[in-house]
A and B are shown apart, each in its own frame.
Chain A
Amino acid sequence: MIYSLWEEMKQAWRALMSNKVRSALTMLGVIIGIFSVITLVTIGEGAKAYVTEQIQSLGAGYDSFVMVAGKDHSVPPTPKFVYADIAYMELKVPEIRDIVGLNPGGGEVTYGKKTIKPSLVGGVTANYLDLMGGKVIEGRFFTAAEVDSRKKVMVIGPTIAKEFFGTGLAVGEKIKLRGDSYQIIGVMEARGSVGPMDLDKRVVVPITISQNMLGTDKIMRFNIFPKDISKITEVQEKVRQVMMRRIRSDDFSFMTQQGILSIVNNILAALTGFVSGIAAISLLVGGIGIMNIMLVAVNERIREIGVRKAIGAKKRDIVLQFMVEAMMISLLGGIIGIIVGIFGAFLIIWFIKGSFVVAWWAVIMATVVSASVGIFFGVYPAFRAAELDPVVALRYE
């Protein structure tokens, strides 16, 4: 059985190849159907990965949420938080375990004649590295006391350390940032990139200093860690109430990895539903096209069917022959659709500089679906062929 399946496949392949244009045209419906789904799913998976990376680069893992100044992301936010808000929130909302404060800023660092533009010049709280993940491999991180007393100290990423000091020690050296001189007290461990941000090329200073540096005492962002992660929404709500009263404004917003991902997922689900509808229609049309061409093929080969029966083909063999051929058309169409779809998605993602992820579940599903289309629409022509009376088939001109 398996053996004759292989034989049928070889012969089906030849039959398809002897009529290339017709086979290709027949595949078109399946190609388009599979192509559209694969393109969308691949772009969608890329979007998800991109969004996840972006959120992770804000430091929001699954155990915290981000509180950020501004509501509407289309206008630059005017931060209204201050350093003292951290202690205030921890006091008013006892469900909070920790709060990391972060002020992202830009600028260049200079050592001697060398100047580097770090990926991030961040003003952060003393718990930053512990909570956002990371270690110091040389020296130490700054303490809460140093933050409170606005010490001009700095912890730098390993890439910066290497570019400035090579294999030599960084700790103890002084670096210039926006005219001020900072003492290096630590070098962070290499961590690579998260999304667009190269973590190894960041520098951090006490958040209280960065306020000086940016010319305002306001803070952009907090990462809030609840004691019990399952209470994340309740904690968020409490923080909202507390802070609204305190700063008399609701011009801030929250982000959780799950929250944002679920928005992305919802949009993708709606889009996927829509495209799947179109794909289903084109697969249906493609399937009917396959059925039609297979009926033509049966008619063209009535005599062949008679001969095959005369030399001993059973009904089963004839059914198999035409089913394999129909399945091959649709499977081939599916595979072409998958390849073109992934390639198309790759081009689009490359163009918009997003993340490219092949959704293997979608590839497998597309393969199964396209093969099933052939099987489903090939059944009727195959049985028509198998039911032919051999004598009539042999006499057929």
Chain B
Amino acid sequence: MSNHLKNITLRIWRQAGPNVKGNFENHVIDEITDEASFLEMLDILNDKLVHEGKEAVVFDHDCREGICGTCSLMIDGQAHGPQRGTTACQLHMRQFKSNDTITVEPWRASAFPLIKDLMVDRSAFDRIIESGGFITADTGGAPDANLIPIPKVIADAAMDSAECIGCGACVAACPNGAANLFTGAKIAHLNRLPQGQAERYSRVEAMVETMDEHFGSCTNHGECEAACPKEISIDVIALMHKDYRKAKFSNRKDLARG
């Protein structure tokens, strides 16, 4: 049954652009049903702001189903807010109480420059994928899909890491702004599959090096795993390191001969 929350104070980060100073702005939501999602509350606020002739708060969002990875809010210092395994768009007001003050900030990481208010630029993730996060298989020549049986456990494990939505919470939560969970998840997805073997070592090398160009280095805090809305396991980082070491330091001729 629905209840109503009263007197919610939102402390929202406002910043007109990357090169100007930002500050917190306070807005009070007098009353809201606990069935509303967090982003619906922001919609309501924005509608009110526009009615008052003020500029709406800019924030990234799209599917509102926890799958597109567009939403990206730091809520009370936690990436995507207090509920575990939940994106900001799937967070509902029943997680909060009347009279709460809620602080809303953008992802803060040097690899994610701010665009405006709560919106940042996460293109660096795309650069990592472009450098090797794929299987080279041009359209046309694929063999029958059932030609290579893939043990269910392998397919399931690949799927576990393929579930990453590319939101960037892991980077935002990391004190070093590292992207190891994101990069590790993609590598674990592709490197576990038989189709991914041909490029296994060139992939990990290219992706890790592109990652290092843009992001900070991992010092095993584990904050990423706790923040990840898809609960990607930190084990993917170990797998990435293992494959990277192998790619880097083994005798490449041996590798090529298997």
A binds B: no
